[in-house]
Structure 1
Amino acid sequence: MHSRRWSGLLACLVPFVLITSNANAAGVTGSVDCDPTTKYCSIKGLTIEGEISDTTTVALSRLIETFGRLRDPSVPSNTLSGTMIRLNSPGGSVTAAMAIGRLLRKNRMTASVNPYASCLSSCVLIYAGAATRLGYNEFARVGIHQPYFQVPNQKLDAETVRKNYDAMLADLRSYLREMNVSERLADEMMKTPPSSVRLLTAEEQESFGLSVIDPVERETSALMEAQNLGLDRMEYNRRDAHAMKTCPLDSSFFSCHDRLMKTGISNLPDLSKFGTPVE
């Protein structure tokens, strides 16, 4: 693995170099809650906040392991699929962020960047790993910049730095491909100096493949849901297209989408009979 070649130089992504040493380590909050009657377990209040490090990865891994121990295996639907994790981080370790992103993808989890929260630098790699992403609201800050190494104690030369940097970028591109995200995102990172942050618009997120739902997750969910609803693919696609067009991209999205998929009817008022829109 390329990562072994550059693990000695801790690669970090943080919004401003000068505050790296003062940033707070990312905390993982959340608890496993199990209903004694239904035996259904879930992780509630899951958040990552602060600078991302290996400690963050360990904390999230332990929480997921706790869920695995407490859940009743006789309840097949009791998985972490769709579990919401709220992100508010200036960035941190690239390797830790990719490890967390893989945990999210493996468990088909959802990442959210709430209004006035930030997901910057390596946090975007966690966001990329989520099966579903909710960071499109206009007040959420999702941003990127060029990755860089922490200053090591050992003596360096330009060739050593180049080789380690190339290996790190190769790992980064491989990770983006794994998550069905365009490698152009890595190219755009390289265009933004480490001391700056480029905030991504909703349109840019979409163009890089940071769409609301990962395409493989979308296909997996579509096939499973169509089976459960007893729909053929054409009718399923019709209802899904209507839901994506009419349901707001906020916390009510899933309930709106679920209702429309089951009934084929939106609760939103039809104003078309009152005339045509004024251009």
Structure 2
Amino acid sequence: MVLWHRLNGQTWWMLGVICLASFLGMEHAAFAANTKESAPDLGPTMRFVVVRSSAPGCEPTCPEWISAEGSIEAGTPALFKRTLKVLGGRKLPVVVDSPGGNVEAALALGRLIRKNKLDIAVGKTGLTGCQPDAKACKEKDGKGARYFGNAYADGAICNSACPLMLAGGIRRVVGQWAHLGVHQITTTYIRTKLQYRTTYRVVRGKKKIVDKKVISRKNAGSYKTYEMSKAVEKRLAAYLREMGVGLGVLEAMKETPASSIQQLAPYDMLQAKLVTSLDAVDLLTAPTLCKTDPVAANCREIPAPAGDVVAYAKPAPAASAEPETVRRADVGDMRFVLVRGRSFLCDPNCPEWISAEGTISAQTPERLRQLLDTIGDRRLPLVINSPGGDVLGAVAAGRLIRERKLDVAVARTDFIGCEPDKADCTAEDGVYVGLTIDASGECGAACPIMLAGGVRRLVGPRAQLTVHPMGLEQRLKIYLKDMAVGPGLLVAMRSVPASRHRRLEPDMMLKVGLTTGLESADEFTGPTICKSEPMPENCRMVSTSEVQADAPMKL
């Protein structure tokens, strides 16, 4: 001990009292969406790779994206930052496939994605040629990109902590073939035994700490909890609000045990704003993105090396002003007939409708007008079943439907007794007897354009509606706007590769405004609708004698 005397003589103090103290008091929490008592094997740590589409015919301008596959660890955000730095400000979408991992890291990744205004999709990336773990691969040298591949949704997952990363995207898509699941957070509390060296001085008999330094750390054990604490819940809720995602996601996490996974349905994710549309990964990675004007931000042109034989596919010829009619040899031109339902549930007051079946042609609007003129002011719903056809014919028919304020549904009409196109089949009073079958209904190619004209528009869950690019985009854009259908329908059409069709799910059709509800054609043609109040306009009473006369004989 050394004694010091201050010059003013008022205070005596001592310096040099050193003590060692051990504390078992430092306890901190590490958050992870784990499901087992011991750390689960979530596979390789997430790696980030910039991938260029290898789709045939997309060169020299192809879409690119960041493939993010593997488990989320504490160091993952730093790896992602490094990838973004290499890109130098290019905004490429992220395609993620992850079982989950560290929650803190997932939040950091989400914030990085939002800060850089990136889109994100759940999907796998199938690489062609060089793989990320191949150190000396020279297969793609001179081609302007290191990795080539294709993104697809089938079998991709985003579980546990991964949805928190997904929440950071500007546009966020999962699709029906990918799997997104949530559950409770596992919090691991780690006890650490610390040994300090403390230096203090005594002033007027009281100790005053001058310095305190940790000289050793020892692990004193850990324990886990499988229920979200109030503090953690508050932090996650604040993050989701920051990202514009509903708290329904948090509720789903809380109600699902850490030992299981709750898969969220596409419509539930849309309702909770975890996804921004019901599209899949091809919305962000399809080669057709680079054929639009302007091209998507993630498209990049790589000219062929000088002297090389260019193997790029020639671009398709520009769409003509009059698009070619898509016809199927087994389907004739669209015909319109009046149909009345037949059931003991409705007789003698049953619904009636207009059956529209066949290929849409340039003559379709005029044929529809002629039939409508025969029924005067009656407004009967249109039940359509068509593979498509002439685009301009569909636009004209759609405008006529809207002008007459008709409802439209997709379904097939099954006729009872005889088919309208049979020579020996004659309808009494021009009205055939039948019923609608949702499961056999189709509406493809130009048919959705005609459907858009309806006041109420329904495509049941078992009916099938498909789209593909058709040209005349500016004209269709104006028409769909007039019909109050959102631009998402045209986006869906553009995302489909040439010569292919894309089926739209009910939730997607509702979101873009192509349909006005999730009901089927039975909403317009079901046998019990004529018992409701007010009675629909397409119900008509016939006399009991007429019903009995038309009824089939029973043996």
> Which interval holds the TM-score relative to the shorter structure?
0.5 to 0.7
8 Å contact 1:30–1:44 — kept in the other structure?
no
8 Å contact 1:53–1:93 — kept in the other structure?
yes
User: Structure 2, unaligned stretches of length 5 or more?
Assistant: 1-26, 53-61, 123-152, 193-219, 278-293, 295-477, 498-520, 526-555
8 Å contact 1:25–1:53 — kept in the other structure?
no
Q: TM-score, normalised by structure 2?
A: 0.33
Residue of structure 1 equivalent to 2:187:
149
**Pairing 1:184–2:220 present:** no
Match of 1:52 among 67, 72, 76: 72
Residue of structure 2 equivalent to 1:101:
110
d(CA) in 2 for partners of 1:17, 1:162:
10
Shift of the alpha carbon at 1:238? 3.0
8 Å contact 1:13–1:148 — kept in the other structure?
yes
8 Å contact 1:26–1:89 — kept in the other structure?
no
Residue of structure 1 equivalent to 2:229:
165
- Other structure's SS at 2:40 match: helix
d(CA) in 1 for partners of 2:172, 2:226:
33
Choose 182-191 or 192-201, whichever is displaced more.
Answer: 182-191
Shift of the alpha carbon at 1:44? 3.9
- CA, structure 1 residues 101+120, in 2 after alignment: closer, same or farther (shift >3 Å)? same
Deviations 1:17-72, CA, capped at 9 Å, x for gaps: 26743222432222499xxxxxxxx994412222101221111011112222xx6x
8 Å contact 1:28–1:46 — kept in the other structure?
no
Match of 2:269 among 193, 205, 209: 205
Deviations 1:209-256, CA, capped at 9 Å, x for gaps: 12326xxxxxxxxxxx9xxxxxxxxx7x93994432354499649xxx
**Pairing 1:12–2:32 present:** yes
d(CA) in 1 for partners of 2:260, 2:226:
22
Q: Quote the sequence identity (%).
A: 24
Q: TM-score, normalised by structure 1?
A: 0.63
Q: CA RMSD in A?
A: 3.8
- Other structure's SS at 1:8 match: strand
Shift of the alpha carbon at 1:109? 1.1
d(CA) in 2 for partners of 1:55, 1:157:
22
Choose 100-109 or 172-181, whichever is displaced more.
Answer: 100-109
d(CA) in 2 for partners of 1:29, 1:125:
18
Residue of structure 2 equivalent to 1:128:
167
Q: How many residues align?
A: 208
- CA, structure 1 residues 195+163, in 2 after alignment: closer, same or farther (shift >3 Å)? closer
Deviations 1:108-127, CA, capped at 9 Å, x for gaps: 21111122100001100111
d(CA) in 1 for partners of 2:265, 2:48:
28
Residue of structure 2 equivalent to 1:245:
489
d(CA) in 2 for partners of 1:247, 1:202:
19
d(CA) in 2 for partners of 1:126, 1:24:
18
8 Å contact 1:144–1:199 — kept in the other structure?
yes
8 Å contact 2:42–2:100 — kept in the other structure?
no
d(CA) in 1 for partners of 2:490, 2:82:
38
Choose 143-152 or 114-123, whichever is displaced more.
Answer: 143-152
- Other structure's SS at 1:87 match: strand
Residue of structure 2 equivalent to 1:26:
45
- CA, structure 1 residues 241+107, in 2 after alignment: closer, same or farther (shift >3 Å)? farther
- CA, structure 1 residues 242+187, in 2 after alignment: closer, same or farther (shift >3 Å)? closer
d(CA) in 2 for partners of 1:210, 1:241:
23
Deviations 1:67-101, CA, capped at 9 Å, x for gaps: 22xx6xxxxxxx41xx2211111111111101101
Residue of structure 1 equivalent to 2:259:
195
Kindly name which structure, 1 or 2, has the bigger radius of gyration based on alpha carbons. 2
